[in-house]
Amino acid sequence: MSMTILLLERQILDHIVEKFAVPDDTTPGTGWEDFGFDSLALVELSLVLEKKYAVQVDDVELKEASNVAGIAALLVSKGVSSA
């Protein structure tokens, strides 16, 4: 796994733990359903990602990504190299 993906996973996970009050032991592979995320939470997360990484990400893409690891891969596929 590339350093970029690992770095993005950590940054995204740190934000989710802080902003959405999920457990500290959450991993990049933990699914949205385990967080109890609904579509509103995914929309909010998409806005944060767009602002932080300057890339368009919609809630449908986030739902399909299914977890933090999927988001990191999605961001890399959109040209994000690190933050």
82 within a domain of the structure (yes/no): no
29 within a domain of the structure (yes/no): yes
The mean pLDDT of 6-31, rounded to a whole number, is: 90
- Tell me which residue range forms the domain holding 29: 3-77
83 within a domain of the structure (yes/no): no
The count of structural domains within the chain is: 1
The mean pLDDT of 59-83, rounded to a whole number, is: 91
- Taking the CA of residue 39 as centre, how many other CA atoms within 13 Å lie in the half-sphere pointing to its CB? 1
Residue 63 has pLDDT above 90, yes or no: yes
Task: Give per-residue pLDDT as tens, 22-47.
Answer: 888 889 999 988 888 888 999 999 99
- Taking the CA of residue 35 as centre, how many other CA atoms within 13 Å lie in the half-sphere pointing to its CB? 28
pTM: 0.89
Distance of CA 70 to the CA centre of its chain: 7
32 within a domain of the structure (yes/no): yes
Task: Give per-residue pLDDT as tens, 42-61.
Answer: 999 999 999 999 999 998 99
Residue 83 has pLDDT above 70, yes or no: no
